[in-house]
Structure formats: structure tokens, C-alpha cells
């Protein structure tokens, strides 16, 4: 209770500082991670165990997996990273089966994208639904559609959690989703259409074949963009006082950063920020929420195994 009041005081102060603009995923994710950490400490020495499989040397994938492993350490989870330079589809399936049957492992993720010789659908199907903390297995997808208890994919779950924690009104709002991926666009459009909070939106799911995209986006009270095209959404594509959730992360070369890369969202932030009421930044918006919800799913999986 006290922690909740403290969170709200912090949020109100932050909102004032940010002139009621920024949906601070970095901050909210730190709150969620500390909640998870507290719960893990209470159940010590038992702890959730996440296993991540990484194949190949895709730089972005490495960064994402490392972020996940680091987040596990911070909240007191055990983590195992299995990194293969290369592996056959059959050997990968065997490895997944081994982990499915390993009582010491609660959650399993296979970092996407996979090399061309491995069928993503086959791999997704091979992960036992109870350990599928990415929520990509058809059983989890189906349960989510039906509103049954399931693992909800981390990015949509992170968006829902962000809306909840900022108490953004969704009932009766027009929500436009740009991008129909299985991982983000499709599930978030289902979730925001549900008869609950957050939800009860009138959802429009748009994609590359949509006509009048500009007009459709400009009609949105809540605009969720998960396209992967840097700065795609310009200020003439958004309605005044809307809420913008920017899921895009494009890595572009930069000589201004230590790493030599910088992250760009799908929304032209600088030109859009004064028009909308709320907006998620990139970096520091939806991305950190994705990591936090992966941890939440892993904790949930561990609880189901009666470890907690």
C-alpha cells in the first residue's frame, strides 16, 4: 500500500516535470523489476530460472539477449544463456525438448530472428507452453484471444502495463495499430479490444496494404506503431491530444554515441511531441517494458511450477 502511494507521488512529480508528456517505460520498468525482486527475495533460496537460446552473431540479438540476462541477475533470477554460432534445426529441437523436461528451468526463450535454415514456426511449436515466457506458442496465443489465463507476449504486455500504471483512459477510445506482426501488432489489437481495462477500444489494425493510412492514423485517440521504419509517423499523421505508443526500434549508425549506434523509433518524436498528450520515447519507452514483462512471465511460470 505504502509502496503504491509512493509510486503515485513519484509519477505525479515526474509528470509535472515532463509536462504530462512522456510515458517513461524506463522508470516504470524499474518499478516493476523492484517489485519482482522483492517477491524473489521473499521466496529465497528458491528462484525462477530463465533459459535463453541465441543462435548466430546478429549484433542486435546479442544486445537484446544480454539485456535479458542482465535483468535476470538484477532481480535475483537464475539465467542460462545457450549461444550457438550455428546449430541444425534438429539439434535445436532436441535441445528444446531437453529444456522442456528440465525441472530446474521455468522459462525458455529462443531469440528471434533465427537463421534461414531454421523454421521459426517449428521452434515456436516445440517450446512447452508452460515454459513459453515469450507467449508465442499457439496454445498461449489462443488462450490470450479467448481471454483465458496465459503467457502474454512481453511487448504487448508491456504496453498494457504502461497504460495501466499511467491510468490512461481507454474505454470507447479509437485505437489504431500500425503493423500486424504476430509478436506486437496482432496481439495488442486483440488485447485493447477486450471488455476490460485496459481495453474496450475500437481497434483498427493497419498494415502495408492499408489505404489512407495517414487519415486513419490521424483519427486515432491511441496510436500504436510497430512497423520498424524510423521516423515514419509525421506530425500531420497524428491527432491533437492523442496518446502515442512507439514500438519501433531502428538501429542507425551514429558518431555521437559510445557504441556507434543510436536507436530511432517509428515516430518522428521531435515534431510530434507537442501535438500529443502522451508519447513513449525511444529508447526508454516500450523496450524496457518488454524486458520487465519477460521477467514477470518467468516469475509466473515459476509460480505455476509451485516453486513459489
Which residue lies nearer to ligand BQF by CB, 199 or 288?
288
Q: Is 64 in the site for ligand BQF (CB under 6 A)?
A: yes
Among 124, 140, 206, 290, binds ligand BQF (CB under 6 A): 290
Q: Which is nearer to ligand BQF, 26 or 307 (CB)?
A: 26
Q: Does 220 bind ligand BQF (CB under 6 A)?
A: no
By CB under 6 A, the residues from 96 to 135 that bind ligand BQF are 112
Indicate which residues carry an active-site annotation: 68, 111, 134
Q: Which residues pair with 250 in a beta bridge?
A: 264
- Which of residues 61 and 200 has its CB atom nearest to ligand BQF in the complex? 61
CA distance 212 to 185: 18
- 105, 110, 288, 300: residue in contact with ligand BQF (rule CB under 6 A): 288
Answer for which of 15, 67, 139, 229 binds ligand BQF (CB under 6 A) is: 67
Q: CB of residue 73 vs ligand BQF: minimum separation in angstroms?
A: 15
Instruction: Residue 73: count other Cβ atoms within 10 Å of its Cβ.
Output: 10
CA distances from 198 to 157, 173, 210 (A): 11, 11, 26
Of 206, 287, 300, 301, the residue at the interface with ligand BQF (CB under 6 A) is 287
With CB under 6 A as the contact rule, the residue among 114, 203, 242, 249 that binds ligand BQF is: 249
Residues in touch with ligand BQF (CB under 6 A): 64, 67, 112, 249, 263, 282-284, 287-288, 290-291
Amino acid at each position: 500500500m505504502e509502496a503504491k502511494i509512493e509510486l503515485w507521488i513519484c509519477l505525479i512529480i515526474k509528470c509535472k516535470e515532463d509536462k504530462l508528456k512522456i510515458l517513461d517505460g524506463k522508470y516504470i520498468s524499474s518499478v516493476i523489476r523492484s517489485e519482482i525482486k522483492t517477491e524473489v527475495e521473499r521466496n529465497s533460496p528458491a528462484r525462477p530460472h530463465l533459459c535463453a537460446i541465441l543462435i548466430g552473431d546478429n549484433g542486435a540479438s546479442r544486445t537484446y539477449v544480454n539485456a535479458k540476462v542482465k535483468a535476470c541477475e538484477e532481480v535475483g533470477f537464475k539465467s542460462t544463456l545457450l549461444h550457438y554460432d550455428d546449430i541444425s534445426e534438429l539439434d535445436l529441437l532436441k535441445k528444446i525438448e531437453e529444456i522442456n523436461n528440465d525441472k530446474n528451468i521455468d522459462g525458455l526463450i529462443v531469440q528471434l530472428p533465427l537463421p534461414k535454415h531454421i523454421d521459426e514456426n517449428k521452434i515456436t511449436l516445440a517450446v512447452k507452453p508452460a515454459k513459453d515466457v515469450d507467449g508465442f506458442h499457439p496454445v498461449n496465443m489462443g488462450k490470450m484471444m479467448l481471454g483465458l489465463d496465459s503467457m502474454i507476449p512481453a511487448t504487448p504486455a508491456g504496453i498494457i502495463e504502461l497504460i495501466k500504471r499511467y491510468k490512461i483512459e481507454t474505454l470507447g477510445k479509437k485505437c489504431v495499430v500500425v503493423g500486424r506482426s504476430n509478436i506486437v501488432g496482432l496481439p495488442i489489437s486483440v488485447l485493447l479490444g477486450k471488455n476490460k481495462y485496459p481495453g474496450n477500444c475500437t481497434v483498427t489494425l493497419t498494415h502495408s496494404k492499408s489505404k489512407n493510412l495517414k487519415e486513419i492514423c490521424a483519427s486515432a485517440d491511441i496510436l500504436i506503431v510497430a512497423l520498424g521504419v524510423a521516423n515514419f509517423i509525421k506530425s500531420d499523421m497524428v491527432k491533437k491530444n492523442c496518446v502515442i505508443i512507439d514500438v519501433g526500434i531502428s538501429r542507425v549508425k551514429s558518431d555521437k554515441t559510445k557504441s556507434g549506434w543510436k536507436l530511432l523509433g517509428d515516430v518522428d518524436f521531435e515534431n510530434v511531441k507537442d501535438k500529443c498528450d502522451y508519447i513513449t520515447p525511444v529508447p526508454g519507452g516500450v523496450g524496457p517494458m518488454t524486458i520487465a514483462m519477460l521477467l514477470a512471465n518467468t516469475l509466473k511460470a515459476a509460480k505455476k511450477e509451485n516453486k513459489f
